[in-house]
Structure 1
């Protein structure tokens, strides 16, 4: 299957003169495009905003935003060979690998700004702020984000849990209410344990928030609120590196947003906890 850039190259001669200018710029400077707005692209190429819009319609892109998301995915996977077994064919030094890991994670975090819908994020923050109980669940690499989420929201005084055992957490879900939130975390959105628990939570009227990839997966379709991470790893991979970073980034943003809204309600408890930690240090 041709890459987005190859597709543009193949269609270039069929485009209008103004559209060709946009296409040529994207081919030459693809790394600049994900951080640009349509207006930025218009100014940079010297064509009208209408020509930019027509360009993306001409190449069959649903929207500029979706094009950027796909471009980020391609750039990340092509520039970084850390997420599949091809890394074993390279003879990189430890520092070269450090540089690649840093670049991979940086690209992944930046692309989350494209995959995450603002209105869904704000809905997620509102739901968590008003929740009587919050249950986080994920398996494998996603369990790291689930544990982090449970810990952070416990610090805010919420009844927040994360259990790694499927049967143990399944036994607690019937006690969730319509004011409860079940945060399902899965990169693929197809993990069976996560899906079954999310379905059980929804059956008990709890609101399901999914932190999952920006694709129409079963978890994406099931969730009441989708907080989408970009696709930044091969499906056949050596470990969840960049995807875990994007999940943790969303958890951090949710936590700080709720903390900001609660304000003075929790600051005294934070100070008390901090003093206790300092006092008990060894």
Structure 2
């Protein structure tokens, strides 16, 4: 898995136990110092045992503390992942922090993603009888974006913003379908009800979430992690939506490329139909 040390901590933070969060907090408070720590020094700074540090790095996806510390040294600038909006910030400061947050979300997300997972996801999508997109609240925006995109392919795609209808769609899905389920936290109750129904049906689930160890990720057959951080005015992470939409766009582009001329034929027909709805130039 290609990832940075900081992004791997952020992606797994909510699923860490109290001891592991103390280690994470020590690192995130000053990554440029933490990357020089030996495992014993990090343990002392965090008030935990060396064994706890070893378990921590494995929990967030690293084979050894040495591998983790090397990656941490390479990504020490990631501590500027997002900037809190301060009371004395100017309009320019706020706009730049928002844009920087979006940019960093995309950069950190692509570092976490494994291209092989996209290959598996596209295989599932291209061979599915039906592709269903599911998301509640803000995640429904991502699901609808996916629906809008995949309509341009020969794929039979379904999506609806209403929860009850999503649940009914989930009930009807089969083993030869595939579900793309989106949730920033991976802990939304309604989303998990849908995912559990899909799991009971034997429908393959592709999860898009910001937390690799969330309940949704554990139900999924494949998880694509988007990196984001909740900070003051941007709680529920607007930047997470941008990263998730980009994951959906990547799935659409890869699928369209895989299906080649079939996709081009659909796109041409749609362009022709839509062009007929536009007022002609005088």
Pick the aligned partner of 2:162 from 144, 165, 169. Answer: 165
Q: 1:257 maps to which residue?
A: 254
Bigger shift: residues 181-190 or 89-98: 89-98
Query: 1:101-250 maps to which residues of 2 (within 5 A)?
Result: 101-234=98-231, 237-250=234-247
How many angstroms apart in 2 are the aligned matches of 1:176 and 1:96?
A: 47
After TM superposition, the score normalised by the length of structure 1 is 0.73
List per-residue Cα deviations over 1:18-39 (Å, max 9, x = no partner): xxxxxxxxxxxxxxxxxxxxxx
1:92–1:178 CA distance, 2 compared to 1 (3 A): same
Q: How many residues align?
A: 233
3-12 vs 125-134, which moves further: 3-12
Q: 232-241 or 198-207: which moved more?
A: 232-241
Tell me which residue corresponds to 2:80. Answer: 75
Give every structure 1 segment of 4 or more consecutive aligned residues whose post-TM-superposition deviation is greater than 6 Å: none
Deviation of residue 271 (structure 1)?
Answer: 1.2
Match of 1:273 in 2: 270
Provide the C-alpha distance between the structure 2 equivalents of 1:248 and 1:14, rounded to a whole number of angstroms. 39
Query: CA offsets, 1:103-141, max 9 Å, x none?
Result: 111111011122212222211111111111111111222
**1:57 aligned partner:** 65
In 2, the alpha carbon distance for the partners of 1:235 and 1:185 equals 23
* Structure 2 unmatched runs, 5+: 1-24, 40-61
Distance 1:240 1:197 in 2: 23
- The alpha-carbon deviation at position 258 of structure 1 amounts to 0.3
Of stretches 269-278 and 129-138 in structure 1, the one that deviates more from structure 2 is 269-278
* CA-to-aligned-CA distance 1:241-269 (integer Å, 9 cap, x gap): 11001000000000000000111112122
